[in-house]
């Protein structure tokens, strides 16, 4: 199993990353990257993108770095496309089936199954037909362009989505030298943003996402290790001598 860097983050680091913001505008940058903000304003020669409803949390960009703004409507949090005919029971996989699917993808890409499970929980809570406001789809929330580049024909098919998302995470971990925090930031905000800021971008949504996935991954690993210790202890019956 590959070793990912910076898996266990200190509580203080997680707290810093965990700040969240509500986005009401989609911002398309000149380099093609998209991000979300609550609102924006022109301040002097710069444009401020406010990451929350107040005026304290923002980043500043040059006007030429921004291609367009678009208001984000408030649709239901999860919605299926009109062509979907799956029943509600199809939307959430059986936990055992999902675990098996993640285990197969983890084996293929040398990724910890608990890491993939943590990402799926953060992205879709296991809803195979989840659609984000930005248009990301399925269990691992693949954007249509990303899915196409990964060879995913239908993001609502759980196996295709998991294989595509696992391939993408594998590529990002390789790109960022097994640094899990940076790979997750790139999964959420795009590699261009991570490269631009030489680390986790100062987007509240991205920092909260990284903290959430790593916290869940740590929790699962610790629970797995505790269960393994209990299993080992149970094999040694009272009064017996291990190794004999």
Cite the active site residues. Answer: 123
CA distance between the termini of the chain = 31
Q: Are 183 and 200 spatial neighbours (Cβ–Cβ below 8 Å)?
A: no
Torsion angles phi and psi, residue 165, rounded to 5: -65, -40
Q: Are 200 and 191 spatial neighbours (Cβ–Cβ below 8 Å)?
A: no
Rg over alpha carbons for the chain, rounded to the nearest Å, is 20
Bridge partners of 25, per DSSP, are: 37, 71
**E strand or H helix at 209, and its extent?**
helix 204-235
Contacts of 21 (CB under 8 A, 6+ apart): 37, 38, 51, 52, 57, 204, 205
């Amino acid at each position: 199993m590959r070793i990912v860097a910076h898996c266990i983050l200190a509580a203080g680091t997680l707290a810093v990353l965990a700040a969240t913001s509500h986005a009401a505008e989609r911002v398309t940058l000149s380099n093609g990257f998209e991000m979300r903000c609550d609102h924006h304003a022109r301040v002097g020669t710069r444009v401020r993108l406010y990451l929350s409803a107040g005026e304290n949390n923002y980043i500043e960009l040059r006007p030429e770095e921004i291609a367009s703004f678009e208001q984000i409507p408030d649709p239901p949090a999860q919605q299926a496309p009109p062509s979907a005919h799956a029943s509600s029971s199809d939307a959430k996989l059986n936990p055992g089936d999902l675990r098996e699917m993640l285990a197969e993808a983890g084996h293929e890409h040398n990724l910890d199954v608990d890491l993939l499970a943590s990402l799926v929980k953060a992205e879709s809570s296991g809803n195979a037909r989840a659609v984000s406001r930005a248009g990301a789809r399925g269990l691992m929330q693949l954007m249509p362009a990303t899915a196409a580049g990964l060879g995913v024909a239908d993001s609502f098919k759980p196996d295709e989505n998991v294989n595509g998302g696992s391939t993408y995470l594998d590529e990002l971990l390789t790109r960022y030298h097994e640094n899990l925090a940076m790979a997750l930031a790139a999964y959420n905000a795009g590699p261009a943003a991570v490269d631009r800021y030489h680390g986790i971008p100062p987007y509240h949504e991205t920092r909260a996402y990284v903290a959430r996935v790593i916290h869940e991954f740590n929790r699962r690993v610790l629970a797995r290790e505790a269960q393994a210790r209990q299993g080992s202890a149970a094999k040694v019956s009272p009064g017996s001598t291990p190794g004999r």
